[in-house]
């Protein structure tokens, strides 16, 4: 007998029929003797309907009231799921974020969880009830309703699992696990049985949008075993957990992430004096533009070339800012390219294996793919290439690192 936290996303509870299917699944777990805390999202479409109502009144709706409004979506789902459970003779009780009490800061629409009071939930579990909690929401010190931002239901699930010391947090979604790369690009992509928190973080932040990144950070911090599974198809899913001791058995690379939404900008011939980086990037950050990869090279003439990437939507705005900066700094020119993509190989195994980066570069060179930028971290290597080579590059790397499903890899 174990304590599981389940989380069901919007499509998993999108209709009354699907809510009934979730209740059936929970009944099976219950009959196996497990304790269950279930986090639910709003029925798919409901959050957008509510946002639409708000936007028809106010372009930039008051954030406090926005949270009051959209938090009703999960509240509807949790009540309906409890009814479906009670109809099956299973005692159940629903809780809003405020009722639990999931204490957050007051940053409306993007609040962060500070504390969870588990007293009520634990007494319900002891009384044999399934506890159903509204995802994505909490309450601040003053009792104002807050939301964690889109996708925050994953975070609610992980935070509850941590607070309750659950055996596993299971995220039910519309995919059956985490893959070595996007199966739409690489037919031979494989579902991973396991992946570490760090790897998952790199995969998620680089574009494999299975889990909200904050929930993975949270799970890693509190060492909550996290499993991604399909709501619709039975299967073991992918377990995201701490690194195993026997890393020898681990493949060097777990997966390949990629991202098409990048654009790159270069400012050339900047006098290389201390503080020049912040003079270039400061105005960009001030405009709320997120900077991703940054590369700087110092030339022989004591000037420097400074290149960085931003989201493709921010390309024009960034370029405008940069032209201004170039003038102020007496730089030679500003260049840009918004037809680029980023590919990253990710794996904790590379820590103990030399030559991973060069193997990556060799594989790309073998396909005549030119590398525009390189960025490395302990468990990943990212390259920026021309967007047109993206699929070719991902397939070449997938094969080079023995990730194809027909390979026999120890995992």
Binding site for a second copy (CB under 8 A): 16, 19-20, 50, 53-54, 56-58, 61-62, 64-66, 68-69, 71-72, 75-76, 78-80, 82-84, 86-87, 92-94, 96, 98-99, 120, 143-145
Nearer to a second copy, 20 or 168 (CB): 20
Minimum distance from residue 58 beta carbon to a second copy (Å): 4
Closest CA to 173 of 294, 41, 312, 9: 9
Nearer to a second copy, 74 or 199 (CB): 74
Nearer to a second copy, 46 or 176 (CB): 46
Contacts of residue 312, defined as CB under 8 A and 6 or more positions apart, other chains included, come to 260, 261, 262, 263, 338
Residue 176 gets the label, from left (phi > 0), alpha (psi -120 to 50) or beta, of alpha
The CA-to-CA distance between both ends of the chain, in Å, stands at 28
> What's the token pair of residue 254?
């777990």
Minimum distance from residue 367 beta carbon to a second copy (Å): 53
Nearer to a second copy, 68 or 329 (CB): 68
Q: What is the CA angle 49-20-215, rounded to 5? A: 60
228 within 8 A of 240, measured Cβ to Cβ:
yes
CA distance 67 to 369: 47
Nearer to a second copy, 125 or 211 (CB): 125
Minimum distance from residue 50 beta carbon to a second copy (Å): 7
Minimum distance from residue 260 beta carbon to a second copy (Å): 36
Nearer to a second copy, 53 or 287 (CB): 53
CA distance 257 to 210: 12
Judge residue 151's burial from the number of C-beta atoms within 10 Å of its C-beta, 0-12 exposed, 13-18 middle, 19 or more buried. middle
Helix extents (H) in 44-96: 46-57, 63-87
CA distance 251 to 379: 12
- Return the half-sphere exposure (C-beta side, CA atoms, 13 A cut-off) of residue 93: 13
Minimum distance from residue 313 beta carbon to a second copy (Å): 26
Minimum distance from residue 134 beta carbon to a second copy (Å): 9
Minimum distance from residue 245 beta carbon to a second copy (Å): 45
Collapsed DSSP state (helix, strand, coil) of residue 127: coil
Nearer to a second copy, 70 or 396 (CB): 70
Nearer to a second copy, 84 or 281 (CB): 84
Minimum distance from residue 34 beta carbon to a second copy (Å): 22
Residue pointed to by tokens 């290439």:
385
72 within 8 A of 8, measured Cβ to Cβ:
no
136 within 8 A of 104, measured Cβ to Cβ:
no
Nearer to a second copy, 67 or 292 (CB): 67
β-bridge mates for residue 374, sequence order = 383
DSSP for residue 231? S
Minimum distance from residue 64 beta carbon to a second copy (Å): 7
């Amino acid at each position: 007998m174990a304590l599981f936290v389940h989380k069901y996303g919007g499509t998993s509870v999108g209709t009354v029929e699907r809510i009934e299917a979730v209740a059936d699944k929970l009944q099976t777990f219950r009959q196996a003797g497990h304790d269950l805390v279930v986090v639910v999202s709003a029925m798919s479409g409901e959050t957008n309907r509510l946002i639409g109502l708000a936007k028809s009144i106010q372009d930039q709706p008051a954030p406090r009231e926005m949270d009051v409004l959209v938090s009703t979506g999960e509240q509807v789902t949790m009540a309906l799921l409890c009814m479906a459970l009670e109809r099956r003779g299973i005692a159940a009780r629903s809780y809003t974020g405020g009722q639990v009490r999931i204490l957050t800061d007051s940053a409306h629409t993007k609040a962060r969880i500070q504390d969870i009071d588990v007293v009520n939930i634990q007494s319900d579990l002891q009384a044999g009830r399934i506890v159903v909690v509204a995802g994505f929401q909490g309450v601040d010190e003053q009792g104002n309703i807050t939301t964690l931002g889109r996708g925050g239901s994953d975070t609610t699930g992980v935070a509850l699992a941590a607070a309750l010391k659950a055996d596993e947090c299971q995220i039910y979604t519309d995919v059956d696990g985490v893959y070595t790369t996007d199966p739409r690009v690489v037919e031979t992509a494989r579902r991973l049985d396991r992946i570490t928190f760090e790897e998952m973080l790199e995969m998620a932040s680089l574009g494999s949008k299975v889990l909200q990144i904050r929930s993975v950070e949270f799970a890693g911090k509190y060492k909550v075993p996290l499993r991604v599974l399909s709501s619709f198809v039975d299967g073991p899913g992918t377990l995201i957990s701490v690194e195993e001791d026997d890393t020898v058995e681990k493949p060097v690379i777990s997966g390949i992430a990629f991202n098409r939404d990048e654009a790159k900008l270069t400012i050339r011939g900047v006098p290389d004096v201390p503080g020049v980086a912040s003079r270039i990037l400061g105005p960009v950050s001030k405009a709320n533009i997120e900077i991703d990869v940054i590369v700087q090279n110092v030339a022989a003439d004591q000037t420097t070339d400074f290149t960085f990437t931003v989201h493709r939507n921010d390309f024009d705005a960034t370029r405008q800012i940069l032209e201004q900066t170039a003038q102020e700094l007496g730089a030679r020119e500003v260049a840009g390219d918004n037809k680029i993509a980023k590919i990253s190989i990710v794996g904790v195994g590379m820590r103990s294996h030399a030559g991973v980066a060069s193997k990556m570069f060799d594989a790309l060179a073998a396909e005549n793919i030119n590398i525009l930028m390189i960025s490395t971290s302990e468990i990943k290597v990212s390259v920026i290439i021309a967007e047109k080579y993206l699929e070719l590059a991902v397939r070449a790397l997938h094969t080079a690192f023995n990730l194809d499903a027909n390979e026999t890899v120890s995992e």
